[in-house]
Each structure stands twice: as C-alpha cells, then as structure tokens.
C-alpha cells in the first residue's frame, strides 16, 4: 500500500518520544505481546542496513533481579510461558549476575531473569530511520500539519482537514500520542487515556563504569521498582513510584493538552522518587558517589491497564487507533507491522484481544481512567500472579442487579467493567484476595461449589455476557454468511463460530432463534464490542437490511445448574420443563415467579441447567425467588472458578484459550460446529477447505497430570523427548479425579490417547497423559445413554 500519508502536528519525535529512555526488551508477561517485542527488536537490528540511518542500538542484554522466593517463582512461571516462543530467556544464578554486572551489591539477590539481545536505542535516531524507510517505499510525511477536523462521509471515507487544506482518506489511524484524546473528541469519542509524569536520572561519568571492558546489561530491580542502564560512562535510572506518590497530568484531561506543548518537560521532583533512588544506591553502590547531571520528567500516555489500544474502533467506520503506549519504543515496530497486516489482509495476523480498543466502553469514565492509570503505574513491577485482580476504580456503573446481594459473600472478578463472583466463602473461611503461584485460599471452597452443581443445584450470575439482538429481512442471510454453523430453527439455540477469511476463529457465540428472523446472540464479556464491531462491519459491507442492537447492559442473566435445577425452577413456572417438552438447546419465553424471562436450556457446566435472560432490574427478585424455591434441594451459589473446572471436565472449549485468531476450528476440535457443506459461502469457508485438504500439523488434546500443590492454567510449555513441542491453553484441578486437567496443543503425532508428555509448572516437569475426552460426560449425553439402557457405558 503506497498511498499512505503521515500528518505530524509539529515535528517528528515531539511529545513523548524525544525524551524516552529508549529501553528495548524481548520480555513481556503476556503471550502474544512477546511477538510484538520480538518483531520490533529484529526490525531495529536491520534498520541501519536498510535505510542507511544510524540508530544507536545497544544490545547488552537485560537482567530482572529476584530478591524474594516469590520472585523466583514468578521467574519460573514466566519461563514456562516463554519456552514455546522464539524469545531467548534464562534464569541465571547470582554468580552469573555478578559476572555480568560486577558493580552490584549481591546481598539480597537470589536469581535473575536474563534476556540476551535486550538493550536500548536512541529514540530520535530510530524515528528518523523509520521515517527514511517509509519515504523510501513511497509514504508521504507532512509536518507541521495539525489536523483541525475529521468528517466521516456516507461511503465510509473521511475528509481530513489541516491548515494547508483537506484530504480524502479511505481510513484514518489515530497515532497521536498524548494528543490522541483530542483527535478522538473530533469524532465524538472519549478515549480513556491520561498523561502521567515519568522521571529518570542521568549521572555524570562514574570511574568504575568507565573502567569496564563491556557495556553493562540493563537492570530491572523489581522490588526497588526501577530500571537502570549504562549511559555513556555514567548510569541512567528511572523509577516507578507508588500510586500514592506518582503524578498524573489530570489538567490535560479536563482542559486539554496546552496547544504549543511539543518538546517541553515538567519540573523535576526528586523528593517524589527518593526512596527508589536510595534503593538504587543500595543495589549499585557506585551511585552514592555519582553526580546527577540531569533529571528528565516528561509525559507518557497511559491507558487504564497500561496496555496500548490498537486496531479498528467499534461504532465508527474505518477509524483505527494506535494509542496509549506506555512503552512506545519497544512496541513501535511490532505494532506498525501488526496494524499494516490487519489493514492489508482484513484480519489480525495473530490474536491480541488484550490490545483491542473495544475492551473499554461507556463505563470507562475519566475517574476510572485516572484511578486505574495511577494503579497501573504504581504496580509496574509488582509480582504478576495468575488470576490477578486489581481493585482501583471498582466497581464501575456496570454492576448486575445481584451485586449488593452477593458482594459480601464472594470474591469478585473484574470482567469488561462488570463485577462477577469468582468464588464464594462460608463463615470461618479466609475471604481475602490471596494470589499465589500455588493452590491458595479458594481451592477448597471451589471444590465445594463443584460438588454443589454436580450433586444438587447451583446459581451463578452470568450478567457480564455480551448480548445482541439482530432482526430484519436479511438477518438469516447475514448470520449464514457470518457463522460456520447452520442457523438454528425457531425456538432453538446453537453454538456458532465467526471465522476470519484465513479460517481462524474470530469469535464464538450462542445463537438463539427467538422468533422468525429475530435472534439473540450471546458472547463472553471480554468479547462484547470486539464481536459487535465485526458483525456491524460485515452488515454494512454486504448491504444487509438488518437492525443490530447491543442489549448487554439491559439484560441480566442467571444460570441455574445441577440435577435439581428442573425441580427448583418448575416450582416457579407453569411452563412444562420436562425433558421431552423443554429439550436441550431449546429457547422459550416464559415467566419465572411472574418475572418475564427468555430461558435457554444450556449450561457451560455441562450439567442439567438453564440460562435465564431477564431485565437487569429484575435480577434481585428473580434470584431471591429461585433461592427460596430451592431451600429443600439445598440450593447455593457458585462462581466462575467452579464453572471453569466443570467445563474442562466436559472438554468444553473456551474462546480466548482453546480458540482465537491463532487457531483454526479443525485443530481446536470444533468440527461438529463447522458445516462445510452448508450452501452459504460463510467467511473462512474456502480457507478451511484448504486447511482440511492439507491436513493438520497440531491438534488440541486433553491431558491429566498429577502435581504437588500447583495446577496448570494455560500457556505452559509441553515437553516431549527433551524438547518443547507445544503449549497448554487452559487448566484446572479436576475435583472428580483429584488430578490436574489441561487442554494443550501438541503435534498430531503426539495426540493419540495414552500418549505421555510433560507439562512444565514452576520449573518442574510433571508427567502428563493424553486422555479420551471428555473426562465427564455431559448431562444430555448421560440422559440419552440412560434411555438406551447404557448404564454400564456411563
């Protein structure tokens, strides 16, 4: 694509780039963000050769320092998540650390996480090299050219106005740094971004540094919460102070960025970071004698969760963003490539839903953004536990009708603005948030909830689901084009997948045909606007006459599941709920305790159950009625942790784990939901036929493994014959067989039942075996076999 124009407000590197510390690292605790870092570094390594511009790239490696046993566990946790990637990463002993960084006080150091090839680059030189390369291949760079207005046209193109005249664009990408909010406001969007002040210190020449034969690796002291690197013959170090002490430039949010701000800095404030300066002096004692020659205090743009927002925006045609970069230097190359690929090929090259701009919504207020940005900045170097929760800015306006009822009884998790029960505690049990790399305080309570659903009846709040209503003359035709499955008959529901043109799984939804041509679509909480954007875009592109309405905030959802669920609900409705009349995957409108609900006979637990969709304001009354009706049956609550254990035993796949834009439905074991022989030419159909013809290289399998007090949770390395051959996608403890259970991708030849492999957890390889799935048959299957007299089989 050659007809690309960059409009720069003042000059290249103005804003946050020119004063950046320029750190580059392969490390990222996320999974696919490692690919972004990897691509950036590989691009920067060859930029000078490609463009003729010197980039000042230093690659002495980097070491993260562990001074507590928990940090060592974290390093082991990160190693198993990295081995199946191209990134080079090692845990190194204190002796090796001292050899590489001889100026350290080694008293507290237990281990290091070492990434060869890490380092730092000169931001100005890097920018100029990228600009030279862009011009070389045909891009036009215009500056100063501030955008004064953006006007969408009916055909999806844009009129972009500057003081030098206007341009017509097929699409626009907002990559305006701390001006991104202002650009968003031009079209009525409030991007949740806030500038924070970040300081770093540069020292004069230090004789001990000057005497070194080679450049020091970049150091990250995680407990001291600072980074430190060599700067010529001195040192540069930058701390991340606590959320109480750090400074947010909130006046820019309320009053806008000062019009002329470009290459200015804020006044430095050494007092604010003094405890980190002292920690740095303790770790690197030569700093005590060093002179400070410069303190840099400049703005960096933060999103609430510290991750950038990258991709097309829901609700606006052909408007893309690349904004909110707290680490713009290391993300720049990879994100540029990622966006370019997405624009050119109409689908993301790999899954990065954690960067989706549509992860935020109307619930993301300015107050929430500030509270979260403070927390994210202050938590820059805290321990990254599995199942981590962060509590600033909560709750948002997105609370279900049960929030007040359940809040004091459970540990809530945050899902796209919603609060949802993860697990419930009883009197005498430890109710606190106790994150750990090992089994922790929720392990026993979740086991009780599991038994509750398997033996009696449980209730779960599922209100965070994304919910859309689609109707109109072309609704069936649109859905037939979007989904790989057939369209369910009226009054029935099915599970359907939207695929990308290359045949990968963009989304999984339940599709309920409520009345002729009218559908209720339901997706996971984290995919709400991600899925809605795709549906809306396809509807516009194909000219379908449909009405699409997002009803997520209007409807509450209660799940009732377990062998007594029918008995309890039957007390509250005149509708016959018997197996022959209200069949599995059927949907009906009815009244429960005189409250109108749409009931779907489906449960992600795999047990007998219903999902009850109702007006959000009716949730508390509906919940109370069900709980009162179920007293005799011993009804109780359960949360999402127990549901996860239940769904894994039934071998139910989860979008975002077993399937996403990195996987095709065939390798994910979703053949029964993909109808290649249906007449409609659904998106991805042709690609899938080719994938099927070529044959699969890997497949999803179910593993059991006996561990100590640790369970797989996904993204761990799978070993066979001394090599890493695959990765887990999700995992849990199976309360049925008292072992760990995991889904994993392995090469096809290792996918046979009985095959033995190993799963790496916290630095130890545990023997695992591929089992026949599912571990536990679903209730509809058990009922069907029972009717056929197959109790032995069950």
pLDDT at 321 over 70: yes
Nearest residue to 341 (alpha-carbon basis) of 349, 330, 333: 349
Percent of the chain with pLDDT over 70: 99
User: Which of the four pLDDT bands, split at 50, 70 and 90, describes residue 793?
Assistant: low
CA distance 265 to 546: 51
* pLDDT for the residue 764: 98
Q: Buried b / exposed e across 664-681, counting CB within 10 Å, b at 16+? A: bbbbbbbeebbbeeeebe
CA distance 303 to 320: 16
For residue 659, what are the β-bridge partners? 655
Predicted confidence (pLDDT) per residue in 141-198, tens digit: 999 999 999 999 999 999 999 999 999 999 999 999 999 999 999 999 999 999 999 9
Predicted confidence (pLDDT) per residue in 355-384, tens digit: 999 999 999 999 999 999 999 999 999 999
Q: What is the pTM of this model?
A: 0.96
Predicted confidence (pLDDT) per residue in 433-487, tens digit: 999 999 999 999 999 999 999 999 999 999 999 999 999 999 999 999 999 999 9
Least confident span in 36-40, 79-83, 700-704, 781-785: 781-785
Per-residue pLDDT averaged across 492-497, rounded?
98
Predicted confidence (pLDDT) per residue in 579-607, tens digit: 999 999 999 999 999 999 999 999 999 99
Q: Which domains does the chain have, with CATH numbers?
A: 5-355 (3.30.9.10), 394-431+440-465+553-652 (3.30.1360.120), 466-550 (3.30.70.1400), 697-793 (2.40.30.110)
CA distance 553 to 616: 8
Nearest residue to 264 (alpha-carbon basis) of 18, 21, 22, 23: 18
The average confidence (pLDDT) of the chain is 97
* pLDDT for the residue 790: 61
Contacts of 103 (CB under 8 A, 6+ apart): 208, 209, 216, 284, 285, 286
pLDDT at 78 over 70: yes
User: Which of the four pLDDT bands, split at 50, 70 and 90, describes residue 2?
Assistant: confident
* pLDDT for the residue 791: 57
CA distance 66 to 612: 49
């Amino acid at each position: 694509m050659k007809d690309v124009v960059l409009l720069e407000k003042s000059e290249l590197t103005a804003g946050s780039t020119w004063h950046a510390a320029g750190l580059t690292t392969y490390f990222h605790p996320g999974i696919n963000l490692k690919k972004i870092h990897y691509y950036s570094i590989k691009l920067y390594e060859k930029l000078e050769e490609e463009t003729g511009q010197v980039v000042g790239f230093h690659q002495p490696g980097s070491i993260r320092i562990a001074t507590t046993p928990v940090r060592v566990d974290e390093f082991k946790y990160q190693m198993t998540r990295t081995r199946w990637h191209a990134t080079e990463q090692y845990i190194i002993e204190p002796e090796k650390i001292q050899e590489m960084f001889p100026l350290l006080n080694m008293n507290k150091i237990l281990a290091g996480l070492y990434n060869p090839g890490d380092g730092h680059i000169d931001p100005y030189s890097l920018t100029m090299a990228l600009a030279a390369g862009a011009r070389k291949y045909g891009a036009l760079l215009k500056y100063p050219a501030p955008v004064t207005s953006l006007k969408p046209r009916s055909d999806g193109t844009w009129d972009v106005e500057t003081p030098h005249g206007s341009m017509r664009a097929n699409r626009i990408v907002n990559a305006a740094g701390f001006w991104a909010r202002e650009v968003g406001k031009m079209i009525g969007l409030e991007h949740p971004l806030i500038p924070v002040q970040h300081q770093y210190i540069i020292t004069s020449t230090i004789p001990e540094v000057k005497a070194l034969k080679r450049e020091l690796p970049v150091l990250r002291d995680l407990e001291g919460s600072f980074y430190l690197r060599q700067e010529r013959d001195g040192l540069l170090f930058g701390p991340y102070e606590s959320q109480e002490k750090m400074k947010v430039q909130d006046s820019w949010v309320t009053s806008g960025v000062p019009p002329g701000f470009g290459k200015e800095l804020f006044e430095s404030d050494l007092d604010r970071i003094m405890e980190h300066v002292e920690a740095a002096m303790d770790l690197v004692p030569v700093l005590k004698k060093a002179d400070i020659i410069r303190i840099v205090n400049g703005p960096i743009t933060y999103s609430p969760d510290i991750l950038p927002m990258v991709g097309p925006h829901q609700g606006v045609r052909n408007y893309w963003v690349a904004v909110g970069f707290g680490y713009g230097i290391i993300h720049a190359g990879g994100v540029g490539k990622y966006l370019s690929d997405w624009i050119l090929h109409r689908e993301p090259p790999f899954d990065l839903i954690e960067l989706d701009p549509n992860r935020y919504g109307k619930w993301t207020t300015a107050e929430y953004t500030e509270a979260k940005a403070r927390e994210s900045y202050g938590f820059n170097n805290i321990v990254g536990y599995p199942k981590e929760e962060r509590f600033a800015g909560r709750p948002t306006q997105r609370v279900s009708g049960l929030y007040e009822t359940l809040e004091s009884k459970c540990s809530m998790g945050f899902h796209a603005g919603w609060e949802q029960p993860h697990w419930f505690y009883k009197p005498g049990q430890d109710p606190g948030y106790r994150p750990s790399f090992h089994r922790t305080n929720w392990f026993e309570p979740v086991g009780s909830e599991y038994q509750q659903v398997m033996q009696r009846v449980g209730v779960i709040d599922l209100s965070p689901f994304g919910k859309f209503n689609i109707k109109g003359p072309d609704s069936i035709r649109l859905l037939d084009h979007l989904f790989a499955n057939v369209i369910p008959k009226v009054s029935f529901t099915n599970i359907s997948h939207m695929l990308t043109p290359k045949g990968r799984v963009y989304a999984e939804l339940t599709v309920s045909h409520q009345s002729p041509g009218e559908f209720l679509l339901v997706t996971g909480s984290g995919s709400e606007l991600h899925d809605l954007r795709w549906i809306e875009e396809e509807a516009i592109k194909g000219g379908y006459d449909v009405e699409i309405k997002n009803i997520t905030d209007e409807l509450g959802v209660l799940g009732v599941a377990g062998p007594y669920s029918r008995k309890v609900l039957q007390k509250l409705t005149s509708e016959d709920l018997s197996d022959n009349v209200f069949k599995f995957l059927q949907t009906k409108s009815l009244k429960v305790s005189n409250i109108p609900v749409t009931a779907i006979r489906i449960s992600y637990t795999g047990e007998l159950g219903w999902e009850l969709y109702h007006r959000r304001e009716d949730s508390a009354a509906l919940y109370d009625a069900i709980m009162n009706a179920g007293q005799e049956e011993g009804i109780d609550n359960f949360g999402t942790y127990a549901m996860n254990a239940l769904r894994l035993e039934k071998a139910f796949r989860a979008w975002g784990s077993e399937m996403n834009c990195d996987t095709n439905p065939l390798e994910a074991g979703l053949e029964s939901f993909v109808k290649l022989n249906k007449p409609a030419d659904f998106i991805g159909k042709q690609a899938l036929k080719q994938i099927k013809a070529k044959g699969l290289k890997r497949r999803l399998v179910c593993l059991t493994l006996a561990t100590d007090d640790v369970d797989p949770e996904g993204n761990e390395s799978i070993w066979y014959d001394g090599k890493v051959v695959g990765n887990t996608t999700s995992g849990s403890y199976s309360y049925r067989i008292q072992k760990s259970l995991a889904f994993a991708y392995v090469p096809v030849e290792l996918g046979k039942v009985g095959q033995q492999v190993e799963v790496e957890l916290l630095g130890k390889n545990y023997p695992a075996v591929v089992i026949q799935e599912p571990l536990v048959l679903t209730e509809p299957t058990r009922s069907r076999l029972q009717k056929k007299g197959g109790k032995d089989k069950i």
